[in-house]
Amino acid sequence: MGTPLLPGSTLGVLGGGQLGRMFAQAAQAMGYFTAVLDADAHSPAGLISHHHIRTAYDDAAGLARLAEISDAITTEFENVPAQALRQLAQRRPVAPAASAVAIAQDRAQEKAHFGRCGVPCAPYAVIETAEQLAAVDAALLPGILKTARLGYDGKGQARVKTPAELAAAWDAMGRVPCVLEQMLPLAHECSVIVARGADGQVVHLPAQRNLHRDGILAVTEVYPGNLPDGQVRQAVAAAISIANGLQYVGVLCVEFFVLQDGRLVVNEIAPRPHNSGHYSQNACDVSQFELQVRTLAGLPLTQPRQHSPAVMLNLLGDLWFTQGDAPQAPPWAAVLALPGTHLHLYGKTDPKRGRKMGHLNITAATPEAARTTALRAAELLGIAPF
């Protein structure tokens, strides 16, 4: 990266979703111009950026225009074509690199990378052929069959208990390359977000305790004591090892399973800011999105400091349909009357069930107060208690 890109430069982002929107907001707050490439005329990031290139991710002319406008380019979505990042990198600094994103796009490559880094993951088998299916070790059942590519938020997954169910699930997935993971007895889930600069410097946010429902993150809790100190140290060390092994530049989220016996196994990585890091916007002195700006621009990284215990509630489109089939706005006034509530909506005007519409950060002086307020907010919104 060489000389840092100072405010006044233009930072580009491939993808126009809510993560791109919050990246653009952070960049603009620091004095940068932003450019977004996304085909949707109403994309959340495109609506607020200085430049919106409305083409597909693999459109050569659109990519050339993004490279022309931008001084450096990132991505907000791991399933953008890695080749598009390679093409952009011929003209501009790109972070994260296409090679890192390509590994995150393929579960088999991802798990192989974990092994090279010495970080344990669930026992697994790669299934790409009928012969590999027939050779699956019975000890991996019951398990979860996952498509090797293009799976996120619980999509492209099936739980299987027997060889017959495994074969049927692979057929139902179109016999695409898959990974079968042994189902492990989980106590809970957690994640760590790291930011790594081009100079190899790494900083990290606190470890986040996560609750998923139907494969989608529902609640994140972050405060001292949310996880045992030993688990936190192990998770942070593993996340840094994974980032260093990729020679990663940018913000990386590493998700973990914590087993009932206390062991920690890595689940997957996301080469971008992550839903579980949204609390940092209001609970830390440096958010994950400012870290993304700093890594892309080659600015110095400072270790984030969490100044307030926090709970994050994911706001899905279901909350607009608690009174029937016609969408109605949730009771924002009642929610915002609660102390320490911070509402972040993504500019999506069409609520749909399961669609991520926003998130609510709750901060307080103590973990107990943050949880109490979060539970009251959840009750007002129609979110199940946790």
For 152-206, write each residue's pLDDT tens digit. Answer: 666 789 999 999 999 999 999 999 999 999 999 999 999 999 999 999 999 999 9
Q: Is 135 exposed, middle or buried (0-12, 13-18, 19+ CB in 10 A)?
A: exposed
How far is 259 from 1, CA to CA, in rounded Å? Answer: 40
Give the per-residue pLDDT at 122.
Answer: 96
| Spatial contact of 359 and 273, defined as CB atoms under 8 Å apart | no
SS3 291: helix
Q: Which CATH superfamily is domain 186-381 in?
A: ATP-grasp fold, B domain (3.30.470.20)
Please name the residues in contact with 240: beta carbons below 8 A apart, sequence gap of 6 or more: 194, 202, 204
Q: Which two tokens stand for residue 377?
A: 């907010």
Q: Is the pLDDT of residue 1 over 60?
A: no
Which position has the token pair 């996340």? 239
**What is the structure's pLDDT at 324?**
82
Give the per-residue pLDDT at 154: 63
Cα 34 to the center of its chain, rounded Å:
21
Q: Are 190 and 175 in contact (CB under 8 A)?
A: no
Share of the chain above pLDDT 70, in %: 99
pLDDT higher at 151 or 335: 335
Query: What is the C-alpha separation between 254 and 289, in angstroms, rounded?
Result: 16
**pLDDT tens, residue by residue, 131-159:** 999 999 999 999 999 999 976 666 789 99
pLDDT (tens digit, 9 = 90+) per residue, 273-316? Answer: 999 999 999 999 999 999 999 999 999 999 999 999 999 999 99
* pLDDT, averaged across the chain: 96
Q: Average of pLDDT values for 22-33?
A: 98
CATH number assigned to the domain with residue range 10-94, chosen from the 4 options 3.40.190.10, 1.10.3470.10, 3.40.50.20, 3.30.1360.200: 3.40.50.20
Pick from 358, 357, 323: nearest CA to 341: 358
Percent of the chain with pLDDT over 90: 95
C-alpha separations of 271 from 103, 137, 193, 239 in Å? 9, 31, 10, 12
Query: Under CATH, domain 123-182 is a member of which superfamily?
Result: ATP-grasp fold, A domain (3.30.1490.20)
User: What is the DSSP code string of 315-379?
Assistant: EEGGGGGTTSSS-----HHHHHTSTTEEEEE----S--TT-EEEEEEEE-SSHHHHHHHHHHHHH
Whether the pLDDT of residue 57 is over 70: the answer is: yes
Tokens 């996880």, residue located: 227
- CATH 3.40.50.20 positions along the chain are 10-94
pLDDT band for 108, please (50, 70, 90 cuts): very high
CA distance 331 to 9: 40
Closest to 57 in 3D by CA, of 75, 34, 84, 92: 84
322 Ramachandran zone, left/alpha/beta (phi>0; psi -120 to 50):
alpha
- C-alpha 169/C-alpha 171 separation (Å) is 5
Question: Which residues are CB-neighbours of 107 under 8 A, at least 6 positions away?
Answer: 146, 147, 148, 149, 151, 179, 268
Indicate where the chain has its CATH 3.30.1490.20 domain(s).
123-182
Write down the pLDDT at residue 2.
Answer: 72
Tokens of 236: 């942070």
| Mean pLDDT, residues 240-250 taken together | 98
CA angle 232, 233, 234 (to 5 degrees): 90
- For CATH 3.30.470.20, list the domain ranges present in the chain: 186-381
- The average pLDDT across 233-257 equals 98
Binding-site sequence positions: 107, 146, 151-157, 181-184, 189, 212, 267-268
What pLDDT does 233 receive? Answer: 97
Cα–chain-centroid distance for residue 267?
13
**Which whole number is the average pLDDT over 223-247?**
97
Annotated binding site for ATP, which residues?
Answer: 107, 146, 151-157, 181-184, 189, 212, 267-268
Asked if pLDDT for residue 267 goes beyond 60, the answer is yes
d(CA 95, CA 90): 13
Residue type, 348: K
Residue type, 73: I
Question: What would the 3-class secondary structure string for 101-143 be?
Answer: HHHHCEHHHHHHHHHHCCCCECCEEEECCHHHHHCCCHHHCCE
Q: pLDDT digit string (tens) for 65-97?
A: 999 999 999 999 988 999 999 999 999 999 999
Question: Which residue matches tokens 């030993």?
Answer: 230
